[in-house]
Amino acid sequence: MSYSDKENINILCAVMLGHGVTHAVVCPGSRNAPIVHNLNECSQVKCYPVTDERSAGFFALGMAEQLNGPVVVVVTSGTALLNLAPAVAEARHRHVQLVVISADRHMAHIGQQMGQTIDQPDALSRFTLKDVNLIEPHDDLMRWHCNRLANEAMLAARRGGPVHVNVPYDEPLFNFTVPSLPAERIITKLPIFPDEMGIFEVLKPVKTAQKPMLVIGQLPCGETSGELLAALRPHLAVLAESLGAADGGVPFDEVLPLVEQNTDFVPDLVIYMGGTLVSKRVKAYLHRLDDVPMIEVSDDGEVHDTFGHLTQIIHCKPLEFLRALRQLTGNIEKNPFAERWNVALDKAKQHFGALRPDFSQMLAVKLALQAASELDHEVILHFANSQPVRLANLFARQHVCCNRGVNGIEGSTSTAAGCSAVTDGLVLCVTGDLSFFYDQNALWNSNLSGNLRILLLNNGGGGIFSQLPGLEASPARDTMIAAGHMTHAEGCCAQHGVRYRAAYGSEDLYSGITWLVQDDSDRPRLLEVVTTVAHDRRVWQQAIQQLSSI
């Protein structure tokens, strides 16, 4: 038994076997011969040769309908693929699990008068649930990508409908020298909890784990519960950022460097829910845990392989999962692994809670959040990307809104303004200078009222760029990359009727924060805190160094 030397073909075949493919309809051709050869070598797969591609598509559809499972149809490159369109359209409207695999040339050959060559990726996309293009991998990142795409295609087919997997590769085509298929990761998906027994089955890996960890990325307000997370923390290490936790999360990004070399802090199971994480450090750490199974709790049921080791998707709303998890852990004793993490995280939380930094962006955010928390009514927090949202993760004790989906600097103030237009409560927008001036037309809006308050952190450029190791070697860093400037917001505020104050020192800042959040106003208010990048960096570094010594 031997297989093709094309890695993308071998990865695809191994993943298809893992997802239960046992029947394949194969059409003639030279370009698809390596795929046909591989399927014929797999003892688990029965191959059915059909010459006419249009008939082959419907033949496979009839099998898939009867088997109620995925059936593969393999065609060569060129117009052979287009002959499957009628069967694919029928499968889409009938919700039949048809897996179309098309061989293809390298993309460089498209449009270069090569034989049997058309633009194949997405050729059937009007009728498919998923289209993937499995480029030949040449490194571990590309292999992971190939594996993930193959899993995504098979998971989509299992939802009930056709998918298209395009497989381009170069000649030579007929080297059958690989003795076995690779051991590929198979991503499985569990449905939304049907009943209590279903919940028990889904949560079984959590119950058997010795060192379980729950990581929470960005979630809408109300999708988590501070009470639930507090109840879970004795049983799991809970790493939640302020963008996902109702109670503001914990500063785990700053704790990780202190514990990541200690094996007592390494999880044996990771559960992830929510959208993006701000912490690059935690993402890199979890990405290094090659042998740790990772489960995603996904509201949409799609594959989000954030850490590169996803093994299972639980198609469920996060809050429902947390409630079920709480039910499971209700009678379980405290977990020593969770306790170790709690001690470290509590120290960090207490450190930043007691911290009294010098006048800086850090002090401004800390004072603003403290003042907002002392009001007798709720304040909705909107933070811009880059340094502001990282400061939120240190000091926020309630949920934080942020345009973190793509992490762009544009639109932060406009988003907060839109929020303020449909609520009577106070909306506090904390933004950096580049984000604010890029979006200053947010103030050119007749819908604004006095419940919008803006804390503008202006240190004359993109301060976060000063924290990127290696970038200091570039003479273009401050002027071109970090966009250094001498712009201030007073004129912009005057033009649009926004009440304005500036803080150049601690005394201005303390009184300015009180003015910003506590008083009623008929117009939006903006407090501009003017610092320097170098000073803000020193204050940040001192705070982190003090944490490492406790």
Q: Domain 189-353: which topology?
A: Rossmann fold (3.40.50)
Please give the pLDDT value at position 298: 87
Asked whether the domain spanning 356-548 has the same topology as the one spanning 189-353, the reply is yes
Give the amino acid at 33.
Answer: A
Domain ranges (residues) in the chain: 7-184, 189-353, 356-548
Per residue in 116-133, pLDDT (tens digit) is 677 789 999 999 999 999
Residues 427, 379 contacting (CB under 8 angstroms): yes
Q: Coil, helix or strand for 22?
A: coil
Give the DSSP H or E segment for 167.
strand 163-168
**What DSSP line would sit under 410-433, residue for residue?**
TTHHHHHHHHHHT-SSEEEEEEEH
Report the chain's mean pLDDT, rounded to a whole number.
90
Confidence label for 17 from pLDDT (cuts 50, 70 and 90): very high
DSSP secondary structure of 253-313: HHHHHHHTT-GGG--SEEEEESS--S-HHHHHHHHT-TTS-EEEEESS-----TTS-EEEE
* pLDDT score for 469: 67
Give Dmax over CA atoms of the chain in angstroms.
83
Q: Is the pLDDT of residue 426 over 80?
A: yes
Residues 44-53: contacts with CB within 8 Å, 24+ apart?
Answer: 44/17, 45/17, 45/21, 46/22, 48/23, 48/24, 49/25, 50/25, 50/26, 51/27, 52/27, 52/83, 53/27, 53/80, 53/81, 53/83, 53/84
Whether pLDDT at 419 is above 70: yes
Reported as a single tens digit per residue, the pLDDT across 30-75 is 999 999 999 999 999 999 999 999 999 999 999 999 999 999 999 9
Q: How many CA atoms lie within 13 A of 17 on its CB side?
A: 20
Q: What is the band of 217 on the pLDDT scale with cuts at 50, 70, 90?
A: very high
Domain 356-548 homologous superfamily, CATH? Thiamin diphosphate (ThDP)-binding fold, Pyr/PP domains (3.40.50.970)
- Region 321-325 average pLDDT: 89
* CATH superfamily to which 7-184 belongs: Thiamin diphosphate (ThDP)-binding fold, Pyr/PP domains (3.40.50.970)
Q: Cα 20 from chain centroid?
A: 28
Alpha helices by DSSP H, 379-504: 387-395, 412-421, 433-438, 490-496
pLDDT band, very low/low/confident/very high, at 107 (cuts 50, 70, 90): confident
Query: Whole-model pTM?
Result: 0.86
The pLDDT of residue 498: 97
pLDDT above 90 as % of the chain: 72
The pLDDT tens digits of the residues spanning 442-478 come to: 999 999 999 999 999 999 876 565 565 675 667 665 6
